[in-house]
Amino acid sequence: MKTTDAAIGVFADHTAAEAAIKTLTSAGFPMKQLSVIGKGYHTEEKVVGFYNTSDRMKFWGTRGAFWGGMWGLFFGGVFMSVPVLGHVIVLGYLAATAISAIEGAVVVGGLSVIGAALASIGVPKDSVITYETALAADDFLVVVHGDAADIKRAREVLGTTAATRVDVHVTPMPALA
């Protein structure tokens, strides 16, 4: 059984998160192993939204250029309104997990959809709450998924970026019966 572990970097702004994605891809991490989560806009009176035509996506709002560029890099994404957090965008591997949580109404123990997606990849509940708090404060999460060797290397690479914190979450191995 293959396990997937995660390294999560928290970034104070979208510029730092974008630079981290570029650093990770330059270090050889494929986009399919990466996810980025953040709010779609900074609270102010501007229209926020997106539309999709064919394989193109257009996002507008104060972070439109950032999200539009990121959407083109990742394989899949979701734009949703989460109570307390507001408009949140999840791109990459975790987008499918968030969609599954929405479709299956898998919101566990008072966690939001974002929290349920993070918990489903083995992030402990206390860390989920920390990440939801970071998102509420307009921070961005960059998540790297992979095996133990990938995550060790991801932690080293994220340590060279402007992350305010970098955490590693290891999925426990199931007990053999």
* Residue 159 pLDDT exceeds 80: yes
Q: Which residues contact residue 133 at a Cβ distance below 8 angstroms, ignoring those fewer than 6 apart?
A: none
* Residue 22 pLDDT exceeds 70: yes
- The model's pLDDT over 89-98, given as tens digits with 9 standing for 90+, comes to 777 777 766 6
- The whole-angstrom separation of Cα 162 and Cα 165 is 9
**Which residue type does 27 have?**
A
Q: What pTM was computed for the model?
A: 0.75
Indicate the pLDDT class of residue 40, thresholds 50, 70 and 90. Answer: low
- The whole-angstrom separation of Cα 58 and Cα 69 is 9
